[in-house]
Amino acid sequence: MLNINHSTIVVPNADHDRLLEFLIGAMGHMGLTAKGPNYWVRSLPQSSASEDSLRAALKMTHVAFAAQNQEEVDRFHSAAIEAGGISNGAPGLRPYHAQYYAAFVLDPVCHINWEVVHHGSAG
């Protein structure tokens, strides 16, 4: 189960379909689909800021999803790499607390830092 209630990420028009394809490849096993539920990747409105400015801002974006177990974290990392992502931290324990087990991947389109984390019995 994908444990985020809702989110909107605005991306340049040219990147929309490729980013959505990557995310479904990386997190489809957790329930992410093109139709949601309650999850959207939207294209930049024509009258908004420049696509270059948006791309620069997206590189500072970090989104974390909760996993049900460590295996789901491992599977996310493998699937995301297979879908073209760039590892930004292999699955493993992190220093945030004793049971913080996470993996990080930059998507190949907008370079958003995607994380899947399992907090063990702490979370």
Query: What pTM value is reported for the model?
Result: 0.78
pLDDT tens for the chain, residues 1 to 123: 556 645 677 788 888 888 888 988 998 888 877 765 445 677 766 655 677 777 777 788 888 889 999 999 999 999 999 999 999 999 999 998 999 999 999 999 989 899 999 999 865
* Domains of the chain, each with CATH number or no CATH: 7-45+53-122 (3.10.180.10)
Contacts of 33 (CB under 8 A, 6+ apart): 24
